[in-house]
Amino acid sequence: MKIDTNRTSDSYIATYDLSCDADKQSIDSVRKTVITMNKWLREAGSSAQYYVHLRGRGHRQQKRKFCQDLPLKYAQTADLYVKQRNPLGM
């Protein structure tokens, strides 16, 4: 896991190596934490809900098809973001 401090997004958590088992367990841990947090928020009557977003990063293999991020099956690393769901569904 690597934490990049030059990010402008408030949602960015860290960059994880998808070939590392410890990093995969960390991703699962963050997901479970967000699920628990959402449950507590619902019980408290809050409309705020959050989700985990992984954006694949890595070599594009000479293809311009993937400009922003890679599908996770092609990615070597992934940036993890925890974002708030839009309560209006937009």
| DSSP of 20-66 | -HHHHHHHHHHHHHHHHHHHHHHHTT----EEEEEEEES--TT-SS-
Structural domain for 18, as ranges: 12-84
pLDDT bracket for residue 89 (50, 70, 90):
low
Q: 32 or 74: whose pLDDT is higher?
A: 32
Task: Note the pLDDT of residue 74.
Answer: 84
Asked, for residue 1, whether it belongs to a domain, the answer is no
The answer on pLDDT for 90 being more than 80 is no
Do residues 78 and 55 touch, judged by C-beta distance below 8 A? yes
Asked, for residue 58, whether it belongs to a domain, the answer is yes
Task: Note the pLDDT of residue 81.
Answer: 94
Task: Note the pLDDT of residue 73.
Answer: 85
Do residues 58 and 74 touch, judged by C-beta distance below 8 A? yes
Task: Note the pLDDT of residue 6.
Answer: 72
Q: What is the tens place of the pLDDT at every residue in 7-65?
A: 778 899 999 999 999 999 999 999 999 999 999 999 999 889 999 999 988 877 666 67
Asked, for residue 37, whether it belongs to a domain, the answer is yes
Asked, for residue 45, whether it belongs to a domain, the answer is yes
Domain count along the chain: 1
Asked, for residue 90, whether it belongs to a domain, the answer is no
